[in-house]
Amino acid sequence: MTLQEYDYARESPSKLAASCLLLALTMKNLGGWTPTLKYYSGYSAQDLHPLVKRLNFLLTYQPHDKLNAVRSKYSHRVFFEVAKVTPMDMLKLEEALTSC
Beta-carbon-side half-sphere exposure of residue 84 (alpha carbons within 13 Å): 9
Model confidence band, residue 72 (pLDDT cutoffs 50, 70, 90): confident
What CA dihedral angle connects 18, 36, 87 and 67, to 10 degrees? 30
Q: What is the rounded CA–CA span in Å between residue 76 and residue 81?
A: 5
Over residues 24-42, the pLDDT tens digits come to 999 999 988 999 999 999 9
Look at residue 70 in the predicted model and tell me its pLDDT: 79
- pTM, entire model: 0.85
Q: Is domain 2-99 given the CATH code 1.10.472.10 in the classification?
A: yes
Domain boundaries, the chain: 2-99
Largest CA distance in the chain: 40
Q: What is the mean pLDDT of the chain?
A: 89
Q: Are 97 and 89 in contact (CB under 8 A)?
A: no
Cα 67–chain centre separation: 18
